[in-house]
Amino acid sequence: MRGDSQAIGLSAAIAQFTVAREPERSLEIIDGFARDAAAKGARLLLLPEGLIARDGDDDAFAAAHAQPLDGPFVSGLKTISAKRGITLMGTVHVAPPEGAEDSRVSNVFLVIRGGEIVATYRKLHLYDAFSAKESAVVKSGMELPPIVDIDGWKVGVMTCYDVRFPETARSLAVRGADVIVVSAAWVRGSLKEYHWKLMTAARAMENTCYVLACSEVGSRNIGCSRIISPLGEVLAEAGDDRSELITANLDHNAVDTARRTLPVLSNRRFADPQLR
């Protein structure tokens, strides 16, 4: 339970859009959403996976446009965060250091607040499924995702395919996450929208925490971004065919009540120490 000095509410937003081919245009889109989200009082804005550049069905396009963390695109994100007074979350493809033996890029989740990177996470589970092979161009991370503090809320992060691995979300919950955010570019296909909706709701309910899930929308990716309560209720949801900003006010009383009435975290019989 929270003390009187700790935050009860958190206004959160998700920006669903089609990532542009040109990084400069993607930054313009993000800035517009950040402006609108801040105007609604949002303290965090979740963005899709692979923000720098995309080109429809070309799986290699995003990786081919990777930049270093000190490159112009991330610098642009820092500027937007500082200017709009909002924490930005989403992933970018980061080029390997010059001369590195492994030429593959990293898919890095960034948390940017006040113009500074406050947390990073390299995607742990690569999308080698449904005839795709992300590992051909992306190098996997080796560490569990972090938890960051936003206005007294503990927010854990995951990237796209991670949502199919419940132990990743559970590791965040047992480390104290009140909210799990998922940045994705969820590919269309038979039953894929069903999988997305089922698993994002399941990750919320089985961990009695809020889930914010953002997917890029376009000819290849489904959109259907959503905000889900600790008991699996969909509080806000975007469509599958357009850019859209969705928001919700998160209430920590809902987390406390869910964990009191459905104490699955404390009722666990077996705990894997590696998840901590």
CATH number at residue 23: 3.60.110.10
Q: Active site residue: 134, 139, 154, 160, which one?
A: 160
Does residue 72 fall inside a structural domain? yes
Position 161 scores a pLDDT of 98
Residue 214 a catalytic site member: no
| pLDDT score of 6 | 55
Quick one: which H or E segment has residue 43? none
Helices 72-84 and 23-39: crossing angle in degrees, nearest 10, is 20
Say whether 78 is catalytic. no
Q: In whole angstroms, what is the distance from residue 229 CA to residue 153 CA?
A: 15
Q: How far apart are CA 208 and CA 256, in angstroms?
A: 9
Domain assignment present for residue 15? The answer is yes
Q: Is 274 among the domain residues?
A: no
pLDDT of residue 83: 98
Q: Which residue among 78, 123, 139, 154 is the active-site one?
A: 123
Residue 64 forms part of a structural domain: yes
Domain that holds residue 198: 10-263
Residue 271 has what pLDDT? 77
Cα 124 to chain centroid, rounded: 13
User: Among 155, 77, 158, 59, which Cα is nearest to 117's?
Assistant: 77
- Domain membership flag for residue 3: no
pLDDT tens per residue, the chain (276 residues)? 444 445 689 999 999 999 999 999 999 999 999 999 999 999 999 999 999 999 977 778 999 999 999 999 999 999 999 999 999 999 999 999 988 999 999 999 999 999 999 999 999 999 999 999 999 999 999 999 999 999 999 999 999 999 999 999 999 999 999 999 999 999 999 999 999 999 999 999 999 999 999 999 999 999 999 999 999 999 999 999 999 999 999 999 999 999 999 999 999 988 776 666
Look at residues 19, 37, 132 and name the one whose alpha carbon lies nearest to residue 81: 37
| Number of structural domains the chain divides into | 1
24 in catalytic set: no
pLDDT at 276: 65
- What six digits make up the tokens of 269? 């019989």
Helices (H), the chain: 23-39, 61-64, 72-84, 166-174, 192-207, 252-261
Whether residue 271 lies inside any domain: the answer is no
pLDDT value of residue 4: 42
Answer yes or no: is 275 within a domain: no
Report the pLDDT value the prediction gives residue 98, as an integer from 0 to 100.
Answer: 87
**Per annotation, catalytic residue among 49, 134, 139, 224:** 49
Report if residue 186 sits inside a domain. Answer: yes
